[in-house]
Amino acid sequence: MKYYEGHEDIYKKAKKSNISSWDEFSKQSESFEEFCMKEYLETALGRIKPVSNARVLEIGCGTGPISCFLAQKGYIVDGFDVSHTAIEIARTNAKDRGLDIHYSVDDICSISKTRSDIYDIIIDGHCMHCITYDSDRHAALTNVFNLLKEGGYFVVDTMSWEDPIKCPLYEQIDGRFDEQGILWHEVKENYPYDKVKYENKYWFCSRRIMNPADLENELKQAGLLIEYIELHKDDTVEYLLDFRAICRKPMSD
Task: Name the site residues for ligand SAM (rule: CB under 6 A).
Answer: 4, 7, 21-23, 35, 59-62, 65-66, 81-83, 86, 107-109, 125-127, 130-131
Would you give the DSSP letter of residue 129? Answer: G
User: Which is nearer to ligand SAM, 119 or 200 (by Cβ)?
Assistant: 119
Would you give the DSSP letter of residue 240? Answer: -
Rounded to a whole number of angstroms, the minimum distance from the CB of residue 115 to ligand SAM is 14
Q: Which amino acid appears at position 22 of this protein?
A: W
User: Which is nearer to ligand SAM, 52 or 236 (by Cβ)?
Assistant: 236
Rounded to a whole number of angstroms, the minimum distance from the CB of residue 251 to ligand SAM is 27
User: Which is nearer to ligand SAM, 142 or 225 (by Cβ)?
Assistant: 142
Rounded to a whole number of angstroms, the minimum distance from the CB of residue 199 to ligand SAM is 27
How many other CB atoms are there within 10 angstroms of residue 77's CB atom?
29
Rounded to a whole number of angstroms, the minimum distance from the CB of residue 42 to ligand SAM is 15
User: Which is nearer to ligand SAM, 2 or 201 (by Cβ)?
Assistant: 2
Q: How many CA atoms lie within 13 A of 201 on its CB side?
A: 7
Rounded to a whole number of angstroms, the minimum distance from the CB of residue 218 to ligand SAM is 16
3-class secondary-structure state, position 118: coil
Could you tell me which of 156, 128, 122, 152 has the C-alpha nearest to residue 244? 156
User: Which is nearer to ligand SAM, 66 or 247 (by Cβ)?
Assistant: 66
What's the burial of 28, exposed, middle or buried (CB within 10 Å: 0-12/13-18/19+)? middle
Beta 55-59 vs 76-81: how paired, if at all? Answer: parallel
Rounded to a whole number of angstroms, the minimum distance from the CB of residue 240 to ligand SAM is 12
Q: State whether the Cα torsion 65-69-74-75 is positive or negative.
A: negative
3-class secondary-structure state, position 232: strand
Cβ contact 87:45 at 8 Å: no
User: Which is nearer to ligand SAM, 19 or 54 (by Cβ)?
Assistant: 19
User: Which is nearer to ligand SAM, 93 or 164 (by Cβ)?
Assistant: 93
Rounded to a whole number of angstroms, the minimum distance from the CB of residue 227 to ligand SAM is 22
Cβ contact 59:144 at 8 Å: yes
The distance from CA 143 to its chain's CA centroid, rounded to whole angstroms, is 14
